[in-house]
Amino acid sequence: SYCFADMKILKINQSHYMSPYNKESGDRNLCNKWVLNASQIEKIFSLSDKYKEMSDTMTGFWLWFPCEITGELIYNKKNWHFSINAAATAEWSDGKETIYWGCSREKCDDMFILPYPGRSYIGGGGKLIW
């Protein structure tokens, strides 16, 4: 298991909207307003479950939203690029290895636009109003 005391967030980029052809300005506005600070990012990774394959995060009721926050972190003296999707999944990559994450815990809900919907209801405490 991971001990996140060893984690240091080096860089956080502004949220990035990934659907330029979607004329739906609501999604873009939600994305532009989505902000995470270093302590929230550390909290997300400490609450998240780790997956070996991307398909593992995609089969368990996970959603996808065209918005991400990327950045750099050091964990265990190793540099990683991270990418956090606004629908409660994330990945780390060091160029050789990729680690996938998914945060299904309720404590994660208010840090994402689309929180994990698989707990028996959709849209929990997230920022998206259904």
Report the pLDDT value the prediction gives residue 25, as an integer from 0 to 100: 81
Question: What are the tens digits of pLDDT across the range 78-99?
Answer: 999 999 999 999 999 999 999 9
Closest CA relative to residue 9, chosen from 64, 96, 81 = 81
| Per-residue confidence (pLDDT) for residue 120, from 0 to 100 | 54
63: domain range?
Answer: 4-111
Spatial distance between the Cα atoms of 113 and 9, rounded to a whole number of angstroms: 21
Answer whether residue 127 is part of any domain.
no
Q: Record the tokens describing residue 39, joined without a space.
A: 């302590």
Q: What is the CA radius of gyration of the chain?
A: 14
125 falls in which pLDDT band (50, 70, 90)?
very low
Q: In Å, what is the CA distance from 66 to each residue of 2, 19, 87, 120, 123?
A: 28, 6, 9, 24, 17
- Is the residue at 120 inside a domain? no
Percentage of the chain lying above the pLDDT 70 cut: 84
Question: If residue 44 lies in a helix (H) or strand (E), which one and from where to where?
Answer: helix 38-47
**Cα–Cα distance for residue pair 25/117, rounded to 1 Å:** 23
The pLDDT, as a whole number, for residue 128 is 41
Q: Is residue 121 part of a domain?
A: no
* Residue 77 domain-assigned (yes or no): yes
Question: Does residue 51 lie within any of the structural domains?
Answer: yes
User: For residues 89 and 53, is the Cβ–Cβ distance under 8 A?
Assistant: no
Assess if residue 105 is contained within a domain: yes
Q: Is residue 83 part of a domain?
A: yes
Flag whether 119 is in a domain.
no
Per residue in 52-84, pLDDT (tens digit) is 777 765 566 778 899 999 999 999 899 999 999
Instruction: Give how many domains the chain has, as a whole number.
Output: 1
Side chain identity at 23, as an amino acid letter? K
